Structure formats: structure tokens, C-alpha cells
Amino acid sequence: MYCRSMRPVSRSVHRSGNVVGMGLLRSKGMVILAGNSHPELVKAVCHHLDVRPGNCSVFYRSSRETDVEIKETVRGRDVYIIQSGTKDVNNDIMELLIIAHACRSACARKVIAVVPYLPYSTQSKRRKRGPITSKLVAKMLCASGINHLITLDLHSKEIQGFFDVPIDNLRASPFLTKYIETYITDYRNAVIVARNPGVVPRASSYAERLRLPLVVIHGEERDESDNTDGRNSPPLDQSIVEKRCTQIGLELLPMMIPKAKPPLTLVGDVNSRIAIIIDDIIDDVSKFVTAAELLHERGAYKINHSVRINVGSNTNVPEAKLPFYVSTTR
């Protein structure tokens, strides 16, 4: 009885008369594509990895519609799209969505979006009758064909729950704490300052790493539009409400009182200390200047800011004339 040896048959793809194994397709490596948001970052990443950026053209038609042309094959390859948020945030989002969709349509193996600053990340909670825009952006990114998202210091960690794909939320705090230890010679005499109560968890992380006390700035000036909660509009006549409740035998509930923040105050002692203000995003530098003035009035002799900078509509760091230690992503 004769036995014929069974050899494993490798899967292959025929292209132009040549046989290309599936393993060879994957061994072609990755390709790095980018939009127009941060060309300097793309060059730095490619230089560090010793690879050339992918040949991709992102342009605008005469109708101001965004168009993308990928001029090399991405079939079977892992595509990394580097695109961060800038002042032109809406175009940045559309460029990322269209590039990702183009790669998915071109049979890319995986599409990984590298977004150091995720646009609309500050709009992760519903306010009055407003939308949760961060969730909408997450759904659009997932629908465009992105398989994985890499970002830096999300404004709120809960945003990761909006996505249906894995997320790597990297942190800039190890680099910033190392910078503080290296370049502030007397940092042991410093205090960590949370610019508002919402930053306390982030500031606490810095305080624990640096073994420094924590101070919180509480209260701030509010816009007139914030004093009126839309859920109470239009205002009701109290006498009419009481009459209706009496007729149907219901007890009148008290009206909702709008929230009011106290004047800007400081919880903690900064007298004769170095103040290091912690925050993640600078969108309006005037708020940081106001916080610095308050700390100076309370006796702080040196004031520094440690942030992941987000150059917004009203940000001018040089004019602030304050030391900023930043992890720049825009």
C-alpha cells in the first residue's frame, strides 16, 4: 500500500502572471498617510521611523469640497493616517474621514488613525438642549473604516466608550513631569495648581508623581448666557401654577434655582511657593492669565503652566509673558 505525502498548499494571489503569497503582501509593511493639519509632525515621525511618507494628495475643489487621491497601492497594508485638530477643525475631520474611507475602499488591511488632538473632545457632555458632539464624531470615524485610534490625553477618558474600535489614549504627563524635574531647579518648593475643579484628577496625578501638594482654583466669571438655563424657559407665572396645582390637588414643587459660581478663589496656600498650573487644553489664554494674577496676589513668586497646548481662537502664548511647558499637538 502506497501513501502519498500531503504537502501544505499555500494560499496565493495571481497578479499579472506572478504568484504572490499572502505572507508577502503583509510583509510589505506599513504606509503613513496624512492630511494637511500638521505636515511637520508627519515629517518628524517618518524621519524617526526611517520611512518615507505615503504619496497622498488632499485638496479642495472649486466648490470647497474635499477630495483625496492616494497615488500608491495600500492593498493588504497597514495604513497609519496622521491627522490632528487645528483651527480649521471641520476640514481636518473631513480630511481624516475621506482618507480613511479611501483606504478602506482600496482594500487596506488595517486603517489606524493617529490623532494627537481629537477634535470636539471637550463636547462630551450634554449641556442644556445641546448635542453630545464628541459621540457624533466617534460614530463618523468608526463608520469611515477606521480600525484603531491612537490619541493623546483625551479631555475625558469616558470618550473611549463612544468608539466601537480599540483606542490607545497616550499620556504626555511623563514627559512634562520629567521636564519640570529637569528644568525647574527648586521644584521641590512648588505646588501643583488645578485651574478649575474639573482638572483636579489630572492635577492630582502630577502632584503624586512629583510628591507635591495640590491647590485648587474654584469659581470663575460666567457669561450672561450661562445664568439662564434653557430648561426653565419660557418663565411661568407662579400664580397660575399655584392655581392649577390647587385645582387638581397636587403639591407645588419649588422652582429650579439656576447654579451660581462663587467669585474666583483659591483653596490652598501658595505663599512663597512656585505655582505650576495644570490643564490639558488652552483655548482662551485670558483664563490662564487671570489664574496667574490670582496666584501672584496670594504670594506665589514664580508661576508656570504645564499643558498640552491647543491653539484655539483666542490664544496668544507670547503675549501672556508666562512660562509654558507644553506638549504640542497642533
Q: Which percentage of the chain shows pLDDT scores above 70?
A: 72
User: Cα separation of 164 and 319, whole Å?
Assistant: 42
Whether residue 60 contacts residue 11, with contact meaning beta carbons closer than 8 Å, is answered with no
Cα distance between residue 266 and residue 257, in whole Å = 25
Angle CA(134)–CA(139)–CA(140) in degrees, nearest 5?
A: 95
Closest CA relative to residue 91, chosen from 70, 65, 117: 65
User: Is residue 8 reached through a cis peptide bond, with omega within 30 degrees of 0 on the bond before it?
Assistant: no
CB atoms within 10 A of CB 156: 16
Q: What is the largest CA-CA distance in the chain?
A: 104
Cβ–Cβ under 8 Å, residues 168 and 320: no
CA separation for the pair 144, 98 (Å, rounded): 7
Q: Under a CB-based contact definition with an 8 Å cutoff, are residues 318 and 298 in contact?
A: no
Q: Is the pLDDT of residue 26 over 60?
A: no
Residue, of 79 and 316, whose pLDDT is higher: 79
pLDDT in tens, 210-251: 999 999 998 765 544 444 444 545 555 556 555 555 555 555
Instruction: Reduce the DSSP state of residue 238 to 3 states and report it.
Output: helix
Distance from C-alpha of 99 to C-alpha of 34, rounded to nearest angstrom: 8
pLDDT tens digits, residue range 54-86?
Answer: 999 999 999 999 999 999 999 999 999 999 988
Q: Is the pLDDT of residue 131 over 60?
A: yes
Q: Taking a C-beta distance cutoff of 8 angstroms, is the pair 84, 329 a contact?
A: yes
Rounded to the nearest 5 percent, the helix, strand and coil shares of the chain are 35, 20, 45
Measured in degrees and rounded to the nearest 5, phi and psi for residue 14 equal: -90, 125
Per-residue model confidence (pLDDT) at position 240 = 58
* pLDDT at residue 10, rounded to an integer: 41
3-state SS string for 91-127: HHHHHHHHHHHHHHHCCECEEEEEECCCCCCCCCCCC
pLDDT at res. 248: 57
Say what the pLDDT of residue 310 is: 54
Q: Give phi and psi for 10, each to the nearest 5.
A: -80, 140
- Give CA–CA dist 163/165, Å, rounded: 5
